[in-house]
Structure formats: C-alpha cells, structure tokens
C-alpha cells in the first residue's frame, strides 16, 4: 500500500505494448537459438508464439493510448528477427544448406526484402492498408512451408523465399484485418 502511492500506473500501462513486443522479440531469438542447436521442429512453436504476441502489441498500444514512434520502431526490429531471420534460417538449415550459394542468396534476399518492407512501412503514413505482404504473414507462411520439407526438394524453397520476398516489397495494397 505504501508503494502504491509512488507508482505511476499510467507509465506502467504505457509500457504494456512494449513488453508484449519484447516478448515477441524474445520468442524470435529463442527460435533462432533452437535452429542453431538443430532443433528446428521446436523453433516452430516459438515463431508461432511470436506471431501471436505481434498481433496483440498494437492492440495494447491503442487500448492504453500509448502508441509511439519508439514502439513502432521496436516492433519493426522485433519483426525482422521473429519473421525475417528466424523463418529464413529455419528453411536454410533444414532445406537449403545443400544448395550453398543459391540457398544463401535466397535467405539473404528474403531477409533483406523484409527489412525493406518494414523500413518503408515506418516512413509512410498508415492509411488503413498495408502495401506489400506484411512480414508477419510472410514469416508465418515460410514457417508453415517447413511442413512440406519431407515431400518437396530445395528448389521449391528457393522459389517460395523469392516469391514471399517480392510480395513483401510489392506495391500490392492489402487491407488491414
């Protein structure tokens, strides 16, 4: 009770969205560590959890009226890790490592396209629609393609990474759901 007089609850509420974003980032980092330890199948759970938390950070920011440029940048940095690097490394390590330079090129292209898409989103005024496939959707689709790994060869994964990368940097207008 004594401490409650000194806590500023508005500041705590203002940081809820950032805490959710940091959780998204943490799950992305855990997924990368699991991939590095050759536990790609376990990393799936953490990539999907990151997507779940990514869905709620913006909602929390709007609910608590705590939207900020800092939060927007933090969200983008978290997204490049959780939906750019983690899914790309998952596919590279499980399917593309046998195609050394082609696999590396596809992985770099996918991650770079995600970074460009996020940077473009951060400098444009949001008008209710996304331009290009959001990196969260691309990352989830790429992660889901992991389940095709036993049935389809490496060239398919190169194609899907290139197609998803192009979709992210395209100017196709996608309404926010």
- Specify the CATH number for the domain of residue 61: 1.20.120.1760
d(CA 86, CA 61): 25
Q: Is the pLDDT of residue 97 over 90?
A: yes
Each residue of 46-60: pLDDT tens digit? 999 999 999 998 888
The residue range of the domain holding 121 is: 3-175
d(CA 98, CA 92): 9
Number of structural domains in the chain: 1
Each residue of 70-87: pLDDT tens digit? 989 999 999 999 999 999
Q: How many residues does the chain have?
A: 177
């Amino acid at each position: 009770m004594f401490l409650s007089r000194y806590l500023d609850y508005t500041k705590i509420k203002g940081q809820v969205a950032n805490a959710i974003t940091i959780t998204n980032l943490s799950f992305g980092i855990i997924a990368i560590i699991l991939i590095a330890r050759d536990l790609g199948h376990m990393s799936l759970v953490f990539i999907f959890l990151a997507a779940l938390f990514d869905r709620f950070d913006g909602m929390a920011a709007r609910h608590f009226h705590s939207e900020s440029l800092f939060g927007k940048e933090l969200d983008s940095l978290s997204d490049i890790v959780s939906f750019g690097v983690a899914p790309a490394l998952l596919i590279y390590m499980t399917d593309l490592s046998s195609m050394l330079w082609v696999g590396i090129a596809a992985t770099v292209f996918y991650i770079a396209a995600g970074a460009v898409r996020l940077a473009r989103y951060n400098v444009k005024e949001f008008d209710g629609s996304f331009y290009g496939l959001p990196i969260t959707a691309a990352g989830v689709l790429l992660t889901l393609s992991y389940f095709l790994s036993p049935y389809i060869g490496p060239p398919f994964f190169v194609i899907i990474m290139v197609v998803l990368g192009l979709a992210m940097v395209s100017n196709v207008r996608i309404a926010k759901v």
